[in-house]
Amino acid sequence: MSSAPTACVVCATPAAKYRCPACRARYCTPACFATHKSTPTACTPLAAAAAAAASAITQPPHAPVVRARIEEESSAGLEYILPDASLMQLRSNDDVMRAVRDKRLQRLLLEIDGAPDRAAALERVTAREAPHFQEFIDAMLLAAGVARREAGMVIFEGGAAPTSAS
């Protein structure tokens, strides 16, 4: 895998850190994403091989809605961005893939993703569905290589550098 920064498909800014969910093209800001999505020929479907891999995850039956989210408006927050290699580990992990096929977990993830404040929604879901949801979180942390199992507990170690949310 190349370590060279990838440029934004709209403005060519180096080190674009976001990806279009439809075609995986890289972009640097929500404004560039809006421009990308508004150009009919710019966003093409995933390649056949990538689509086959992505089909293992059940897609929700609704179209994605682009709207402002509270955490995206705050520049004070921190987030962890996993490298592509860790994301591929998640996709190839049997425990994670089995979990995302679970209808109950799919509803919880849609609830979090569809909320205007995803951080608050995550806290609500975690409090309400603690054991079921925590098993999924633990499986993801272990598969991504940012946690380890010790004495029957999953210990978060980090592994991806925190970056300022923008």
What does the buried/exposed string (b/e) look like for 35-57 if buried means 16 or more CB atoms within 10 Å of the residue's CB? bbbeeeeebeebeeeeeeeeeee
State the Cα–Cα distance between residues 4 and 160, nearest whole angstrom.
Answer: 17
**What are the tens digits of pLDDT across the range 16-59?**
888 887 777 888 888 888 888 887 766 665 433 344 444 444 44
State the Cα–Cα distance between residues 106 and 97, nearest whole angstrom.
Answer: 12
**What are the tens digits of pLDDT across the range 80-120?**
677 888 888 888 888 888 888 889 888 888 888 888 888 88
* Cβ(82)–Cβ(162) below 8 Å: no
Query: pTM for the complete prediction?
Result: 0.47
State the Cα–Cα distance between residues 140 and 94, nearest whole angstrom.
Answer: 10
Q: Dihedral angle at the C-alpha atoms of 155, 159, 165, 166, nearest 10 degrees? A: -160
Of 13, 61, 11, the closest CA to residue 39 belongs to 11
